[in-house]
Amino acid sequence: MSDTRVKFVLGEQDIPTHWVNLMTDLPGEAPPPLHPATKQPAGPDDLTPLFPLGLIQQEVSTEPQIEIPEQVREIYKLWRPTPLYRARRFERELDTPAHIYYKYEGGSPPGSHKPNTAVAQAYENAAAGINKLTTETGAGQWGSALAFACRLFGLECEVWMVGSSYDQKPYRRSMMEVWGATVHRSPSEVTDAGRSQRVHTTGSLGIAISEAVEVAARSAEVNYSLGSVLNHVLLHQTVIGQEALAQLAIAGEEPEIVIGCVGGGSNFAGLAFPFLRRVIREGAKTRFVAAEPAACPTLTRGVYAYDFGDTVGLTPLMPMYTLGHTFVPPPVHAGGLRYHGDAPLLCGLVKAGLVQPRAYRQNETFEAAVRFARAEGVIPAPEPAHAIRAVIDEAAAAREAGDSRVILFGLCGHGHFDLSAYDAYLSGSLEDPEFSEDDLGKALASLPDAPALA
Amino acid sequence: MSDTRVKFVLGEQDIPTHWVNLMTDLPGEAPPPLHPATKQPAGPDDLTPLFPLGLIQQEVSTEPQIEIPEQVREIYKLWRPTPLYRARRFERELDTPAHIYYKYEGGSPPGSHKPNTAVAQAYENAAAGINKLTTETGAGQWGSALAFACRLFGLECEVWMVGSSYDQKPYRRSMMEVWGATVHRSPSEVTDAGRSQRVHTTGSLGIAISEAVEVAARSAEVNYSLGSVLNHVLLHQTVIGQEALAQLAIAGEEPEIVIGCVGGGSNFAGLAFPFLRRVIREGAKTRFVAAEPAACPTLTRGVYAYDFGDTVGLTPLMPMYTLGHTFVPPPVHAGGLRYHGDAPLLCGLVKAGLVQPRAYRQNETFEAAVRFARAEGVIPAPEPAHAIRAVIDEAAAAREAGDSRVILFGLCGHGHFDLSAYDAYLSGSLEDPEFSEDDLGKALASLPDAPALA
């Protein structure tokens, strides 16, 4: 009797008890972040004005796994474990012998994987006696996840939303407000940084970060929160991959390829790191594909160098692939992927050849997303549409090779707030922006003076 | 050790194999629908121009249960079984000893319970050789569910969307188009009905129904599809209550009250009918509360009489509580509850005293929804916010009585496309419309000449 299951569900008791810390698995010594002024290795003390000790310890931990606090697991129960689907209808649509699985994180209240870390961060800050978190948000996925998490722990939440997104996506702002957050259009009049940048009326992620950091730095009871890039953020997302491992075991399958989209790297890391540990420690044969936008091709066109994490240069210098911190990506709809750098931990894996990056154009990702939606039902966010595009390539390769390779990809969020982009695609008016080679050259030329990376 | 579970999940094998047909459980003979011209009982033959035989047989079936076709169950697997949650955080918010459970249908791709019947209807039409379905939609929940279902069975789908909603909710239209449907702004220029009503530029559900029916009646290969009211639609929704029964058994709980919102009645029926069968057949003590808008108080202020199902008077006369088919409810955001009548099957249960109706004002329902969202995370659609408002009453009664009654309610959809209404509520600008007593009087005076109901 053939197995016709399409959905592999776990019970609450199967929510992972620990996060996977891949730091300890990496070959060689990881280059440390550097203090932006002294260019000396930045230590935990440099982080205390913005982050609670619990998160700093996770950031620098050398333990192979870190226990998930019981209160965090309690809240994870609201949407975890998330389902793993066998995309049988999409396989037929693609006419492929490949077995395609996707791990769907869009069922969380904010609609993406972001609350996996937002809840963990809100918990540690609340436990440290902090009463407010500040953050920036672009398209709004991260801001709404943090608003949701802060509400659950009784923390205030203040969000600076990039001006152009604030105007274009009023419903993401409303969502944050339903959960009780205060949302500012950035640049705002409530910070020095905002007032100094008021000529840039549409705002930028860099300005919004400066505003959120400024307010957090003003008070010992206020901290700042970041939704990707840092080690502890990637760590928190590893619940995704651990569940997927257990679910694929139920399905009796071994993945040949794991695919995720990459903006700052937390979604990709969350799915891939538990599988990467098996590759590094046990010699498993899985391949890993990181899908990014051709309009912001950090891993495929960037250089591996020390650079600032933000546009205006407030953060420590991080060792990563970067397009240059002054690079401004064209306005593709996958707002979550418009970042000039990537998580140092992920960049190290790309550098080591363990993760293969691929870049896709905006229109081909929407074409992939519509094919997927028409087969499977779920309308993907523009970010995971990049992963779906990569899946189509692998499914075609499987057909040509005549093998039934197992493909796992991360469907990290739904597209309910991105339908104007679908509308543009369906009406043939979606732009397919290329970045300016000239701008890229200038941004790379403005990299800070710092030690070269091997 | 106390049970801290918040989510009760089932596996694919637990998707019900049959639908519950409550027709056979009702006390006494149900009054038949009447042909609108002859006023004689309308038979199956009167339905064949619009519906396939498979659905007509379900509409008039006297079998206590009807097997769910395997292909329908296969598609149900994309989002079913749906989770049952214990609302522990909401209980604490309400400071109540009551145990509150909710069955969440918002995880389906269109975001509500509607695909439970859309898929069953698309299946029967495809099996009958039909190649296109037409329908109307107001706020867009039903239209998007049918667009989704048609895509899965390779049927074309043509939707007439009420003009004012078409203008206000472009993203629901985009969602239907992502799934391949054609969406017209109603009144449209492609039907006689639309052209004749073009002065009513904002449209109405009545006009949209006329347009969809006109196009379906033109061709033997095109049928019409309705998203509520009819017996077979309520039947298809009973997967909800059957799963909830199994899940409450896992939780070791017996519900004292079952609560659902009511527009046409299919969401309420889907949750309640399997529990009602236990009351009618086995003497279980469950109470049932049907929550409706005070702006469209069909069950609480309507009369029990034969009336048309649509505004312009094309449908058979149905025995139901009605505000009069010419009654135009004020524009509350719970668009799915703005219907002058209700399902005859549900109305019979209200008439028999088995279901207790309650009406709530718009602002108090949004207040309830925001409290719920801040406790549980999920942002409810405005329709189930009415059920949540009723839950708050029952939770307060439990506190006063000092008992830990078990309350089950249906959270039939998310509010991702309703955030402008939340925005208005949070900014204090949400209207709290009352209907005009004068208009109600006129609408009731225009009831068709038909036999009185007991």
| Averaged pLDDT, B166-174 | 89
Residues 6+ apart with CB under 8 A from B416: A111, A171, A416, A417, B111, B379
pLDDT tens per residue across span B108-121: 999 999 999 999 99
pLDDT tens per residue across span A159-205: 999 888 888 888 999 999 999 999 999 999 999 989 988 887 888 88
Q: Which of A10, A78, A178 sits opposite B422 (nearest CB)?
A: A178
3-state secondary structure of B69: coil
3-state secondary structure of B67: strand
Q: Collect all residues of chain B within an 8 Å Cβ-Cβ radius of residue A171.
A: 416, 419-420, 423
Q: Which residues in B have their CB inside 8 Å of a CB on A? A: 4-7, 9-12, 74, 77-79, 85, 89, 107-109, 111, 148, 151-152, 170-171, 174-175, 177-180, 370, 373-374, 376-379, 416-417, 419-420, 422-423, 426
Please give the Cα distance from A124 to A117 (Å, whole number). Answer: 11
Please give the Cα distance from B416 to B385 (Å, whole number). Answer: 13
Q: How many residues does chain B have?
A: 454
- Testing the interface with B: which of A171, A247, A374, A414 to mutate, by most B Cβ within 10 A? A171
Q: Report the gap between the CA of B109 and the closest CA in chain A (Å).
A: 5
| Averaged pLDDT, A9-16 | 94
Q: What is the DSSP secondary-structure string of A244-255?
A: HHHHHHHHT---
Please give the Cα distance from A4 to A92 (Å, whole number). Answer: 14
Residue A69, Cβ density class (10 Å: 0-12 exposed, 13-18 middle, ≥19 buried): middle
| Averaged pLDDT, A384-411 | 98
Strand partners for B20: B65
Does the distance separating the beta carbons of A79 and B377 come in below 8 Å? yes
pLDDT tens per residue across span B392-439: 999 999 999 999 999 999 999 999 999 999 999 999 999 999 999 999
Give the per-residue pLDDT at B1.
39
Strand partners for A258: A288, A408
- At residue B181 the predicted structure's pLDDT band, cuts being 50, 70 and 90, is very high
Alpha helices in A259-381 (DSSP H): 266-282, 298-301, 344-351, 362-376
| Strand B317-322 versus strand B303-308 pairing type | antiparallel
Residue B362, Cβ density class (10 Å: 0-12 exposed, 13-18 middle, ≥19 buried): buried
Question: Residue A261 in contact with residue A292, Cβ under 8 Å?
Answer: yes
Q: How many residues does chain A have?
A: 454
Please give the Cα distance from B163 to A94 (Å, whole number). Answer: 37
Residues 6+ apart with CB under 8 A from A54: A124, A127, A128
Q: Is the peptide bond before A297 cis (omega within 30 degrees of 0)?
A: no
Give the per-residue pLDDT at B152.
97
Q: Which of B152, B175, B419 sits opposite A419 (nearest CB)?
A: B175
Give the per-residue pLDDT at B195.
93
Sheet arrangement for strand B356-360: B7-8, B84-86, B99-104, B406-411, B257-261, B287-293, B356-360
Per DSSP, B333 falls in state S
Percentage of chain B lying above the pLDDT 70 cut: 99
Q: Is the pLDDT of residue B4 over 90?
A: no
Give the per-residue pLDDT at B206.
77
Give the per-residue pLDDT at B168.
80
Please give the Cα distance from A373 to A368 (Å, whole number). Answer: 9
| Averaged pLDDT, B56-66 | 96
Q: Collect all residues of chain B within an 8 Å Cβ-Cβ radius of residue A12.
A: 5-7
What angle (nearest 5°) sits at the alpha carbon of residue A432, between those of residues A431 and A438? Answer: 115
- At residue B202 the predicted structure's pLDDT band, cuts being 50, 70 and 90, is confident
Q: What is the pTM of this model?
A: 0.96
* Token digits of residue B4: 């801290």
Mean pLDDT (chain B) is: 94
Please give the Cα distance from B247 to B126 (Å, whole number). Answer: 33
What ipTM score was computed for the predicted complex, to two decimals?
A: 0.95
Give the per-residue pLDDT at A2.
56
Per DSSP, A316 falls in state P
| Averaged pLDDT, A134-152 | 95
Does the distance separating the beta carbons of B151 and A78 come in below 8 Å? no
| Averaged pLDDT, A247-262 | 97
Q: Is the pLDDT of residue A373 over 90?
A: yes
Q: Is the peptide bond before A187 cis (omega within 30 degrees of 0)?
A: yes
Q: Identify each DSSP E strand in A11-98 by its residue range.
A: 18-20, 65-67, 84-86
Q: Is the pLDDT of residue B136 over 90?
A: yes
pLDDT tens per residue across span B271-330: 999 999 999 999 999 999 999 999 999 999 999 999 998 877 878 899 999 999 988 888
Buried b (16+ CB within 10 A) or exposed e, A377-412: bbbbbbbbbbbbbbbbbbbeebeeeeeebbbbbbbb
Higher pLDDT among residues B200 and A157, named by residue: A157
What angle (nearest 5°) sits at the alpha carbon of residue A247, between those of residues A101 and B240? Answer: 85
Q: Is the pLDDT of residue A1 over 50?
A: no
Identify the residue whose tokens are 């469907």: A411
Sign of CA dihedral B387, B391, B392, B394: positive
Residue B452, Cβ density class (10 Å: 0-12 exposed, 13-18 middle, ≥19 buried): exposed
| Averaged pLDDT, A104-117 | 97
Sheet arrangement for strand B132-137: B182-186, B156-162, B132-137, B222-224
Residue of A50, A54, A52, A59 lying closest to A214 (CA atoms)? A50
Does the distance separating the beta carbons of A174 and B426 come in below 8 Å? yes
Q: Between B170-178 and B141-152, two packed helices, what is the crossing angle to 10 degrees?
A: 10
Residue B29 CB: number of other CB atoms within 10 A? 6
SS3 content of chain B, % helix, strand, coil (to 5): 45, 15, 40
Q: Collect all residues of chain A within an 8 Å Cβ-Cβ radius of residue B3.
A: none
Q: Is the pLDDT of residue A321 over 70?
A: yes
Give the per-residue pLDDT at B2.
56
Give the per-residue pLDDT at A32.
92
Q: Report the gap between the CA of A141 and the closest CA in chain B (Å).
A: 13
Residue of B224, B235, B435, B228 lying closest to B318 (CA atoms)? B228
Residue B356 CB: number of other CB atoms within 10 A? 16
Does the distance separating the beta carbons of A78 and B422 come in below 8 Å? no
Per DSSP, B12 falls in state G
Please give the Cα distance from A137 to A190 (Å, whole number). Answer: 17
Q: Collect all residues of chain B within an 8 Å Cβ-Cβ radius of residue A79.
A: 377
Q: Collect all residues of chain A within an 8 Å Cβ-Cβ radius of residue B180.
A: 374
Q: Between A419-426 and A362-376, two packed helices, what is the crossing angle to 10 degrees?
A: 100
Mean pLDDT (chain A) is: 94
3-state secondary structure of A26: coil
Instruction: Compute the half-sphere exposure of residue A429: CA atoms within 13 Å on the CB side of its CA.
Output: 5
Residue of A293, A300, A265 lying closest to A410 (CA atoms)? A265
Percentage of chain A lying above the pLDDT 90 cut: 83
Identify the residue whose tokens are 């400024």: A214
Percentage of chain A lying above the pLDDT 70 cut: 99
3-state secondary structure of B445: helix
Please give the Cα distance from B128 to B237 (Å, whole number). Answer: 22
